Amino acid sequence: MKLIIGLGNPGKQYEGTRHNIGFEAVAALQERLKLGGFRNESKFNAEVARGEFNGEKVILAQPQTFMNLSGHAVLDLKQFYKIENEDIWLIFDDVDLALGTLRLRESGSAGTHNGVKSVIQILSSEDFPRFKLGIESRGTISPAEQDISSFVLEPFRSEEHFQVKEMISLFVDSAVFALKKGFSKAVEEFSQ
């Protein structure tokens, strides 16, 4: 069983923002895998979609806790489904990676990402796979001096949409590959 979680903030005002690319990516994966649709499940405080792919149960989730409290929804899902950390895959924006960059890691620190910090703190572990989606464009497309907190909460600019779409497509390809052949092989094949 795999639990694949895209991080983001709930609410219309956050749709399409850089910080919500984890939600967009997991929704694109749901479409590719043809799993059931997302439903709000209050016991997990998350939108959840379920199904099977390649003979394995797959659960996709979008926590509705707001980014800084994401770990609570992750823990609720982990405990309910009795899933080991290595079977919890996290998808999130990374302001330390150039826009359009996909990086896969089997473990590691949270960097500057408060949602990942929450997950690490609640799970008491850094050892879970993650897909990092690069969103940084300050100094090229966006103003160089813009602070991180306002930058991540703004929508992508129209001239960035093609790169974002390509990156999400690459993420979906990498996740499907990882489900078929294992996360370690996907790291070798897809990480930029």
Q: Is the pLDDT assigned to residue 35 strictly greater than 70?
A: yes
Average pLDDT, the chain: 92
pLDDT category, 62, cuts 50, 70, 90? very high
What is the per-residue pLDDT for 118? Answer: 95
pLDDT category, 46, cuts 50, 70, 90? very high
Cβ of 43: how many Cβ atoms within 10 Å?
9
Q: Where are the alpha helices (DSSP H) in the chain?
A: 21-33, 70-81, 114-123, 148-152, 161-181, 183-190
What is the per-residue pLDDT for 152? Answer: 78
Whether the model pTM is above 0.85: yes
Each residue's pLDDT tens digit, 133-147: 999 866 666 666 667
19 is annotated as an active-site residue: yes
What CATH number does the domain located at 2-190 have? 3.40.50.1470
Cβ of 28: how many Cβ atoms within 10 Å?
18
Cβ distance 163 to 97 under 8 Å?
A: no
The structural domains of the chain, with segments of one domain joined by +, span: 2-190
Catalytic residue among 19, 72, 113, 161: 19
Each residue's pLDDT tens digit, 105-132: 999 888 888 899 999 999 999 999 999 9
